[in-house]
Structure 1
Amino acid sequence: MHDRRTAPRRRTLLEGHIELSGGGAIDCTIRNLSSGGACLRVVSVIGIPDEFVLSYGAETERRPARVAWRKETELGVALIDD
């Protein structure tokens, strides 16, 4: 299997939040993370928009994200530079 990632990912178990544009958030677990993307575990991908803000970390880092792929309980996202 060929890995198409531009940056190596490191395994994590960070708590994160998918911030919705209309207000509110969906909890997620960040399974792996790089400067350019992440894999998120969620209860369900239903209702998660194609673009959102991902917040995480003790200092609440916030990054715009775009969904690259979806599975039943996982999302692959590209982190967008501001």
Structure 2
Amino acid sequence: MHDDTIDKRAATRQRVLKRGTLTFDGGGGIDCVVRSISSNGARLDIASPVGLPKSFTLVIETDKFIRRCRAVWKNEKQIRVAFD
């Protein structure tokens, strides 16, 4: 990494490996793995982002963590979410 590289994220992300769930307003949800998290958002591994609603809730049971969020980036197996 070069000294002139600037990280554009507003908050420092902490690398983690935690089981989570994305729950939806109409009921249901999907499992995910939380790979990194900050006060502003998280990076998640999911089976597929296809059909993901605009907003949803990230639940990490072991930490009693519940936050409303929305996807801001995605590829075939990962999404990045911003917390509302």
Structure 1 length-normalised TM = 0.89
Structure 2 length-normalised TM = 0.87
Unaligned runs of 5+ in 2: none
For the residues of structure 2 that align with 1:30 and 1:59, how far apart are their CA atoms? Answer: 12
User: CA shift at 1:3, angstroms?
Assistant: 2.8
Percent of residue pairs bearing the same amino acid type: 38
Larger Rg: 2
Please name the residue that 2:83 is paired with: 79
User: Judging changes above 3 Å, is the alpha-carbon distance between structure 1 residues 49 and 13 closer, same or farther for their aligned structure 2 residues?
Assistant: same
Please name the residue that 1:7 is paired with: 11
1:34 aligns with 2:38: yes
1:19 aligns with 2:23: yes
User: CA shift at 1:59, angstroms?
Assistant: 4.2
Runs of 4+ off more than 4 Å: none
